[in-house]
Amino acid sequence: HGDRTGRDRPDVISRRSAGAVSRGGNGIMVALADRVAALSDWQRSLLGFCLGVAAAGALPPAHALPLLVPAFTGLLWLIAAAPSPRRAALSGWWFGFGHFLAACYWVGAALLTDPDKFAWLAVPAVIGLSAGLALFPALAAVLVFTSKRTGFSRVVVFAVAWTAAEWLRGHILSGFPMNLIGTSWTVSEGMIQMVAVTGVYGLSFVTILAAAAPALVTEQRVDATMVKHWRVPALMIAVLAAIWIGGTVRLAVQNPSALEGIKLLIVQANIPQELKWRADARQAAMKKHMRMTLAVPSGTVSHVIWPETAVPYDVSNDPNLAAWLAEAAPEGGLLFTGALRRDRDSAAPRRLWNSLHAIDATGALRATYDKHHLVPFGEYMPLRSIMSAAKLTHGNIDFSSGPGAQTLQVPGLPPFSPLICYEAIFAGRVTSDGSRPGWLLNVTNDGWFGNTAGPYQHLQAARLRAVEEGLPLVRAANTGISAVVDPLGRYLGRLPLGTEGVLHSPLPRALGRTPYAVLGDWTMIIVLIISLGIVFWRAFRETS
């Protein structure tokens, strides 16, 4: 039992015998690290779970950033004291399980919108999702353990491994890059300017590096002093301060002007999800959007934007409906609305798309976009050929995927990149490879998640895309949070969650291509390669 708990391990004994002075002179931190090393297996698991929950507190909307320090310092202690790779993996897994359980609990709310069908799945779905996502922190923990690095090198390997695991989480299978650690900084306009260079993954890297640096205070050194042990944490504070100062200067220097003649109207009708697809309520919901739009004085609006599936019918095959919707389009302008779209060919198997249409004042569809990054289990069932379960969204037909990211051209506006729902959370994948758009248009329906953290987290993820790409973001959400964000991530206006209202806003000009818009994730990869190079160089010096 002594080997499992760490009480009799040589490294723990030697660290105790070294005393507080030889490990930095901070008795409290040394005592905490020793107590972590001496925990039994179940205590390690419980501590890892609690630390993961604490780290989730730094995410939107709470933004309790100081919690990141004990969370990631504690996790690094758990990994360092693990007696085997398996134990290190379990520490990482329990951390991840607690983290994602606390951060993504709102997934269960979506299953409660149709309780007769899906309520029984709410708890198992959240637990299953959290358990699966926890594999990525477990992988990071194994990589740190097997590197066998100590001191500053171990902290760097930890930050590299965590960032790489986040990137994998955002790309493997269909990807789920929600609640990346870098998103915690969306509370600060100055801090998030860094993503224009490195993307959100680079901001995650610096955050983990800073949050785990205090673990160095307990590292054993022959010539240890208080100053030397606190040198790296102090340096990381200086790095964070430099990022904030640089971002603040960027905000002060750059002030994109509004495009002339463009007056946007975003309609947030606040339709409850349980009513949205009811046969006796669909038309009323659509008419509510129309009524709210026409209540705005004419001449004050050039373009109107309704949210995802604001029109719960197939506009593309219904000229009468398109003509009725044309009443909401200002003269010389457009109505943008989410809607369903069905295949015209009745002879083929019926296909269905989650679409966005731009409709002019004559009822003509000037542009159409089909969502391509679909939500597994929500908009389609994976392995449909062997699974007969119903998808979460309305209807029995799985949605089909569109051709991919596009830049659409419409009269009276700069070209734009349409993003439906959670397509906006994927860093580096919100624009096409062709011509650069002048703005991002995100229509969504966060009514699935009620008054939970989900809509706040979704908004902040989308907001980071604006800063990464140097493009303004216009967001229309059924129940909120609708917003207009300039290319620097500043709000020009927003409507609160769970409220009915309209938002008037100009459209800001785009900035030039940011480094991230040019290089994408290669900026982050270069940072990670340089960091690993420093680790290898230090290892070479130690052995030479």
Tokens at 83, concatenated: 């007696």
Say how far apart CA 451 and CA 464 lie, in whole Å: 22
Say how far apart CA 423 and CA 415 lie, in whole Å: 18
Average of per-residue pLDDT across 272-284: 87
Residue of 2 and 467 predicted with greater confidence: 467
Q: What is the pLDDT of residue 228?
A: 58
- What is the DSSP secondary-structure string of 365-396? EEEEEE--SPPBTTTB-TTTTT--PPPSSSSS
Q: What is the pLDDT of residue 389?
A: 63
- Average pLDDT of the chain to the nearest whole number: 89
Contact 382, 376 (CB under 8 A): yes
Q: Determine which one of 421, 423, 468, 469 is catalytic.
A: 421
Tokens at 485, concatenated: 């964000």
Percent pLDDT > 70 in the chain is 89
Residue of 74 and 10 predicted with greater confidence: 74
Query: How many other CB atoms are there within 10 angstroms of residue 541's CB atom?
Result: 8
Place of tokens 């297996």: 41
Contact 350, 330 (CB under 8 A): no
17 has pLDDT over 80: no
Say how far apart CA 10 and CA 8 lie, in whole Å: 6
Query: How many other CB atoms are there within 10 angstroms of residue 329's CB atom?
Result: 24
Angstrom distances, CA of residue 345 to CA of 33, 342, 348: 67, 9, 6
Q: Could you tell me the pLDDT band of residue 384, with boundaries at 50, 70 and 90? A: low
What are 365's strand-pairing partners? 359
Beta strands in 402-528 (DSSP E): 416-420, 439-444, 473-477, 483-485, 491-494, 501-505
Phi, psi dihedral angles at 66 (to 5 degrees): -60, -25
Q: What is the pLDDT of residue 388?
A: 59
Q: What is the pLDDT of residue 2?
A: 41
Angstrom distances, CA of residue 59 to CA of 53, 72, 218, 462: 11, 14, 27, 14
Q: Could you tell me the pLDDT band of residue 394, with boundaries at 50, 70 and 90? A: low
CA angle in degrees (0–180, nearest 5) for 26-146-171: 105
Q: What is the pLDDT of residue 16?
A: 40
170-194 tens-digit pLDDT: 999 889 999 999 999 999 999 999 9
30 has pLDDT over 90: no
Say how far apart CA 203 and CA 521 lie, in whole Å: 12
Quick one: three-class SS letters along 102-163?
HHCCCHHHHHCCCHHHHHHHHHHHHHHHHHHHCHHHHHHHHHHHHHCCCHHHHHHHHHHHHH
247 has pLDDT over 50: yes
Q: Determine which one of 166, 219, 308, 468 is catalytic.
A: 308
Contact 96, 129 (CB under 8 A): no
Q: How far apart are the first and last CA of the chain?
A: 38
**Is 421 one of the annotated active-site residues of the chain?**
yes
Eight-class DSSP state of 183: G
Q: Within 148-218, where are the H helices?
A: 151-169, 195-212
Contact 424, 444 (CB under 8 A): yes
Average of per-residue pLDDT across 325-333: 95
Q: What is the pLDDT of residue 355?
A: 96
Q: What is the pLDDT of residue 208?
A: 97
Q: Could you tell me the pLDDT band of residue 387, with boundaries at 50, 70 and 90? A: low
Tokens at 191, concatenated: 């801090």
Decide the pairing of beta strands 365-370 and 501-505: unpaired
Eight-class DSSP state of 261: T
105-162 tens-digit pLDDT: 999 988 887 777 878 888 999 999 999 999 999 999 999 999 999 888 999 999 999 9
pTM above 0.85, yes or no: yes
Q: Determine which one of 263, 276, 371, 391 is catalytic.
A: 371
Interhelix angle 68-81/135-147, nearest 10 degrees: 60
Q: Could you tell me the pLDDT band of residue 14, with boundaries at 50, 70 and 90? A: very low
Q: Give the rounded distance of the alpha carbon of 69 from its chain centre.
A: 21
Q: Which of 271-285, 326-340, 381-395 has the highest mean pLDDT?
A: 326-340
**Is 308 one of the annotated active-site residues of the chain?**
yes
Residue of 231 and 413 predicted with greater confidence: 413
Place of tokens 């779970």: 49
Eight-class DSSP state of 8: T
383 has pLDDT over 80: no
453-475 tens-digit pLDDT: 999 999 999 999 999 999 999 99
